[in-house]
Amino acid sequence: MQSTLQLFFPGKLIIGNGCLQQLQEEVIDKNYRRVFLMTIEPLKAALTEMLEAWQQKGIGVEIYTAIVQEPSFADFATVMKTATPFDPDVVIGTGGGSVLDVAKLVAAQLHNEQTLSEYVGIGLLKGRKVPLICAPATAGTGSEVSPNAILVDPDNQKKGIISPWLVPDQVYVDPLLTISVPPAITAATGIDALTHCLEAYTNKFAQPFIDMFAAEGMRRISANIVKAVQQGNDVYAREQVAMGSLLGGFCLGPVNTAGVHALSYPLGSKFHLPHGLSNALLLPYVMEYNIPAAVDRYADVAIALGCERQSSAEQTAKAGVTRIRELIRDCGLPATLADVNVPEEAIPAMAAEAITIQRLLKNNPRTIGEADAIAIYKAAFHA
């Protein structure tokens, strides 16, 4: 018997090239007077028309662009020093996953009697009083539709805040915003999105309804990610990867990720590797480890990735691993931990840290203990 499924969708989801224009009109139609806009400097030019339209209507806008890497609790406290006195009518986040995560938390914290520390974890946030709108500018994290936000604590450990109150009220997925994303970021975020789908589909707690999103997300991303990386102006490829990323975001709340993400955390905390790159470095090796425990599921993954069905489920599943290696290579991403200067002697400490991420490891189809984590890291180092 499947466990009960709870899936929280945004109140409104708009998808399409140029749909950011509708966000411009939405703010005006809602009579918002103060907009707190979190974004990144490279996007400001693309937002000029929207900002000018708001200015002409007398709408005040506070633009915040200081989130440029995986955000910390200190970063969030700094943002709130600007957002709280501004007292916005609406919070808008447009950028990568880090920007969206913080925008979600800012909207949750404004006029909230709870402190952030009181709702770190799962289901502890009691509500949100300020409207929240998100528009992703990368095709990767799926944060625009997930109930998750991640912050780094003073010990460089990633902490999750998971709540349906973090799902935005409105989401605008405009693939044209991703056109300017550089190849390396397109590659890393795209493989991250693919990993969301893959880990949801092979999850110990997989759900048939979520399987539809996961399988279609894998299909769209795997067929188009290389072109999106190598020919960044290809609008169709950008559309397909953006859609795949969105579908992966829907997987994150009810099912979530597993071993790949758990083992990737130390690469970020200890060596400050980008999240998507960390996942890409580990994905094929965790897949190889997991196949014996979920061979039919991994065979399905291979088919979604575009592989031909082989004479056995195991052979088909292994073809999927080969396909993932090819995608990572063709996207120009490094293939081993040695390639990104992670020292082999760091592996035991990484494994000790990774196995503390039980909120994700419990989802993995095959149990990963400390010795198993060491073996996976060594495989990823020596390949």
Whether the per-residue pLDDT at 1 is higher than 70: the answer is no
Of residues 356, 164, 189, the one with CA closest to residue 252: 164
**Does residue 58 share a domain with residue 188?**
no
**71 lies in a domain?**
yes
pLDDT at 211 over 60: yes
At residue 305, the pLDDT reads 98
Q: What is the mean pLDDT of residues 131-153?
A: 91
What is the pLDDT at residue 383?
66
All residues at 6 or more sequence positions from 287 whose CB lies less than 8 Å from its CB, including other chains? 198, 298, 301, 320, 321, 324
Q: What is the mean pLDDT of the chain?
A: 94
Give the pTM. 0.93
> 14 pairs with which residues across the strands?
172
| Number of domains making up the chain | 2
What's residue 6's pLDDT?
83
Q: What is the extent of the structural domain holding 356? A: 183-382
Sign of CA dihedral 17, 23, 24, 29: positive
Same domain, 82 and 170: yes
The packing angle between helices 295-304 and 313-330, to 10°, is: 50
CATH code: domain of residue 149: 3.40.50.1970
Q: Give the Å distances, CA to CA, from 120 to 61, 71, 116.
A: 29, 14, 6
Q: What is the pLDDT of residues 153-197, one digit of tens each?
A: 888 888 889 999 999 999 999 999 999 899 999 999 999 999 999
In this structure, are residues 289 and 260 in contact, taking their beta carbons and an 8 Å threshold? no
207 shares a domain with 142: no
- Does residue 137 form part of some domain? yes
H or E stretch covering 121: strand 121-122
Do 132 and 194 belong together in one domain? no
Q: Is residue 200 part of a domain?
A: yes
Q: How many beta carbons lie within 10 A of that of residue 45, not counting itself? A: 9
Residue with tokens 């000029």, as numbered in its chain: 48
Taking residues 205-233, report their average pLDDT.
97
Contact 352, 335 (CB under 8 A): no
Q: Is 6 helix (H, G, I), strand (E, B) or coil?
A: coil
Determine, yes or no, domain membership for 28. yes
The per-residue pLDDT for range 60-80, each reduced to its tens digit, is: 999 999 998 889 999 999 999
**What DSSP string runs through 170-221?**
EEEE-GGGGTTS-HHHHHHHHHHHHHHHHHHHT-TT--HHHHHHHHHHHHHH
93's enclosing H/E stretch is strand 90-95
Dmax (CA) of the chain: 66
When pLDDT is cut at 50, 70 and 90, the band that residue 2 belongs to is: low
- Distance between CA atoms of 62 and 86, rounded to whole angstroms? 8
The residue-averaged pLDDT of 81-103 equals 96
Q: Which of 161, 178, 195 represents a domain boundary (last residue)?
A: 178
Q: Is the pLDDT of residue 234 over 60?
A: yes
Domain boundary among 143, 178, 213: 178
CA 271 to chain centre: 19
75 lies in the same domain as 167: yes
Average pLDDT over residues 73-90: 97
Whether 352 is covered by a domain: the verdict is yes
What percent of the chain shows pLDDT beyond 90?
A: 87
Query: What is the rounded CA–CA span in Å between residue 291 and residue 224?
Result: 25
Do 375 and 356 sit in the same domain of this protein?
yes
273-302 per-position pLDDT tens digit: 988 999 999 999 999 999 999 999 999 999
